[in-house]
Amino acid sequence: MSKLVKEEGDKGRLHIETPLMGESLVSKEFLKRTEAKEYFRMQPDINVLKIGGQSIIDRGAKAVLPILDVLIQAKEKHKIILMAGGGTRARHVYSIGVDLGMPTGVLSKLGDKVSWQNAEMLTVLLAKYGGVKIGHGDNLEQLTMFCRLGYLPITYGIPPYGYFEHPAEIGSIPPHRTDCGAFLLAENIGARSLIYLKDEKGLFDSDPKKGEGKKNKMRFFDRISARELMELDLDDLIIERPILTFLQRAKCLKELQIIDALHHPEHILDALEGKHVGTIIYKEE
What pLDDT, in 10s, does the model give residues 161-208? 999 999 999 999 999 999 999 999 999 999 999 999 999 999 999 888
Q: How confident is the model at residue 279 (pLDDT cuts 50, 70, 90)?
A: very high
The continuous run of DSSP H or E covering 258 comes out as strand 255-260
* Cα distances (Å, whole numbers) of residue 189 to 47, 80, 140: 10, 13, 8
Break the chain into its structural domains and give their ranges: 41-282
pLDDT tops 80 at residue 62: yes
C-alpha distances in angstroms, 5 versus 2, 11, 12? 10, 12, 10
Tell me what pLDDT residue 207 has: 86
Region 267-276 average pLDDT: 98
Give 74-114 pLDDT, tens digit per residue: 999 999 999 999 999 999 999 999 999 999 999 999 999 99
CATH 3.40.1160.10 assigned to 41-282: yes
pLDDT at 13: 64
CA distances from 219 to 33, 189, 222, 244 (A): 41, 34, 10, 19
Answer positive or negative: Cα dihedral of 59, 61, 63, 68: positive
pLDDT band at 7, cuts 50/70/90? low
> Where is average pLDDT lowest: 17-21, 27-31, 213-217, 258-262?
213-217
Helix intervals (H) in 53-161: 61-74, 88-99, 104-126, 143-148
What's the rounded Cα separation, in Å, for the pair 91 and 98? 10
Please give the pLDDT value at position 266: 97
Q: Which residue has the higher pLDDT, 125 or 140?
A: 125
Prediction pTM value: 0.92
Are the C-beta atoms of residues 171 and 46 closer than 8 Å to each other? Answer: no
**pLDDT at 208 (0 to 100):** 86
Mapping DSSP to helix (H, G, I), strand (E, B) and coil, where does residue 255 land?
strand
- Residues 270 and 25: their CA atoms lie apart, in Å, by 43
